[in-house]
Amino acid sequence: MKFDTRRLTIKQIHKDLIKKKYSVRDLITACLNCYEKYNKKINAILNLNERIIEEAEKCDKDFFKNNEIILEKPLFGIPFAIKDNYSTKGLPTTAGSKVLKDYIPPYDATVIRYLKKAGALIIGKSNMDAWGHGSSGENSDFGPTRNPFDCSKTPGGSSSGSAAALASGMCIASTGTDTGGSIRLPACFCNVVGLKPTYGRVSRFGIIAMGSSLDSIGHFTNSVYDSALILSITARIDPYDSTTFSLKNEIPFHFFLEGRQKTNSKDLFLESVIYNIYAKKNKKNFTLGVIKEFITDKGINLSVKKAFEKSCKLLEDNGFKLQEISIPHIKYSLSAYYIIVMAEISSNLGRMDGIRFGFNRSYFGAEAIRRILIGTYVLSAGYYDAYYKKALKIRTLIKNEFNKALESVDAIISPVSPSPPFKIGERSNDPVAMYLSDIFLTPVNLAGLPSLSVPTFPAEKMPSSIQIIAKQGYEALLFIIGSKFEAIRGKIGIPLKI
């Protein structure tokens, strides 16, 4: 049974399963075929789930006994690649680092429990920059992941394997984490949809921490609808993570995309904050802000700029209003981000002592060592005020400036990356050049806002995306705008070159 897993969405698969076009086992076999074909070259998956076929067969048995199971389990039979910093019980979890080379967690991360409960299957653990430290996948202690559209180029990072696995058909969705762009950049470089939810939307429990005030738990999909569907499963208050929140009386995010405005409780729906936006703006037009400081940035590659401008024009031609906005302190956000994240990294990695799990600290790679040392430096006596405290103040300014801008526009759009996917090795010896990859992404993490990366027209024949940013908690708006953009943009066909 041959079919192209790259073009499949969760929505389509469930329709096909009901029509008995193929079984879950067939689907998993097709994904595994892609793994067999491509993984040696692109190194997206570090460890396969050896029991996946067995689990797929069980799904088929359960479906045969009870057709309604797809309604009860919204992710029934869907194979996920899981970024290797998510604790998965019984499956190796390395966070891309030799320190945890042999670590097998005795428990599942909260998100993994939710995904499993919704019927999802885990096909394997995906490669990543060790500890999330990187923008290209080159900092993995287990070899870099390669971009499925051009193997000499990076797939972006740090969720490199998750994006590459999805783009090459090894799975139908994948998970990631975004602390300074680590979902949005690989989503952009691999031509898939990437969601960075609001900080605190999705539980961080069981996910190996990088920067605890910045880590956002998100995912990659082939469509905006699928992204909304998965968020409906993962976004809830978790007693194991006291930084989680939710908006009052929310309805599942994908309901807005189906026009399913009626729920059982009329009051529940009417009280929904997001309903008010949808009801008001569905007939009228959304206003999208374009950050003036990004547009004048001389560091943007010309093709990327053209692709972004083409996207803006497309939106304007289809009823969206574009308006220039300003984030005056945005040029300091990269420095502030790196100070804060390195400080938090140095603290979080203190637990890797080789006593309760893993190997000792001599197993850390170069980028981890750099970040721990600099993090320790900025927190140490005599330097704390000059660096860390100052960075926290910049964070206040950036957060306030974004919130102010989002009062005059519904959402903000921007390019995701200042350049098309770069060559492996091009920036690996220049940490600062590597850090500049995140220039459009880190301000969003500092402000704690949600952002959706949606593929747009290619730049230099390689994938390129736009980023849509909204107020805290307003992911539904991201999905509404994102799916409208998907519809008017049409299909983007870039061939795999593995």
Partner 1 sequence: MNRQKKSISLEMINHLCKLSHLPLNKKEILLFQPQISEIIDFIKQLSELNLEKIPETYQVTGLCNVTRGDRLEGVSLTQNQCLSQAKGKKNYLFEVKSVFESDEI
Q: Site residues (CB under 8 A) for partner 1?
A: 103-107, 199-200, 213, 239, 242-243, 245, 332, 335-336, 338-339, 346, 350, 353-359, 361-362, 364, 366, 369-370, 372-378, 380, 386-387, 389-397, 399, 431-432, 435, 447-448, 472
Least Cα distance to 166 among 463, 422, 435 occurs for: 463
Q: Which is nearer to partner 1, 90 or 319 (CB)?
A: 90
Q: Which amino acid is present at 479? A: F
Contact criterion met (CB below 8 Å) for 126 and 83 = yes
Q: Which is nearer to partner 1, 397 or 488 (CB)?
A: 397
Q: Give the shortest CB-363-to-partner 1 separation in angstroms.
A: 10
Q: Give the shortest CB-235-to-partner 1 separation in angstroms.
A: 14
Half-sphere exposure of 31 (CA within 13 A, CB side): 33
CA distance 35 to 174: 14
Q: Which is nearer to partner 1, 441 or 454 (CB)?
A: 441
Q: Which is nearer to partner 1, 103 or 278 (CB)?
A: 103
Helix (H, G, I), strand (E, B) or coil at 238: strand
Q: Which is nearer to partner 1, 143 or 328 (CB)?
A: 328
Burial label for 452, CB within 10 Å (0-12, 13-18, 19+), is buried
Q: Which is nearer to partner 1, 45 or 394 (CB)?
A: 394
Give the 3-state secondary structure percentages of the chain, helix then strand then coil, rounded to 5.
45, 15, 40
Least Cα distance to 206 among 83, 105, 81 occurs for: 105
CA distance 475 to 477: 5
Q: Give the shortest CB-89-to-partner 1 separation in angstroms.
A: 9
In which order are the strands placed within the sheet that holds 45-48? 45-48, 121-126, 79-83, 173-178, 216-221, 193-196, 451-459, 462-469, 411-415, 287-291, 321-325
Least Cα distance to 169 among 33, 340, 12, 275 occurs for: 33
Q: Give the shortest CB-19-to-partner 1 separation in angstroms.
A: 40
Q: Give the shortest CB-487-to-partner 1 separation in angstroms.
A: 32
Half-sphere exposure of 25 (CA within 13 A, CB side): 9
Residues tagged active-site = 83, 158, 182
Q: Give the shortest CB-384-to-partner 1 separation in angstroms.
A: 11
Q: Which is nearer to partner 1, 321 or 361 (CB)?
A: 361
Q: Give the shortest CB-91-to-partner 1 separation in angstroms.
A: 13
Asked whether the bond before 158 is cis by omega within 30 degrees of 0, the reply is: yes
